[in-house]
Amino acid sequence: MTGAVPIEILTFGYEKIIENLLKIYTLKGCTYKIRKRNGEIFITDNKNYIVDFFFTEPIQDLLETCTRIKMTTGVVDHGIFVNMTNVALISKHDGTVLTLNKKYE
């Protein structure tokens, strides 16, 4: 998996939360950006921040990464969905939809 992954974090101590996230071995080398809207930090309905982490290489251990992100103090949730569905619909820039079906072994 490459691209951006949103991570919702508490506003209190957000700098330390981001610092701790960057200590996760699979997040090392990532860049991040606190999401903004109209030049202001975007605040969720629950009064939290969204930090987008950008990956240039595939995440090697996705399940471990998800667990470590969720276990980080101050993290509310993340945008990685593992083993939650059998079908994923992905909207593409050209308006088409890519359908991915889970392969069963």
Q: Tell me: the pLDDT tens digits for 8-35?
A: 999 999 999 999 999 998 888 889 999 9
Please report the domains of the chain, with CATH numbers, ordered by start residue.
3-101 (3.30.70.260)
Closest CA to 4 of 49, 45, 59: 59
Q: For residues 63 and 81, what is the distance between their CA atoms, to the nearest angstrom?
A: 10
**What is the reported pTM?**
0.80
Which has the closest alpha carbon to 30: 14, 9, 53, 64? 53
Give 50-99 pLDDT, tens digit per residue.
999 998 888 888 899 999 999 999 999 999 888 888 888 888 899 999 99
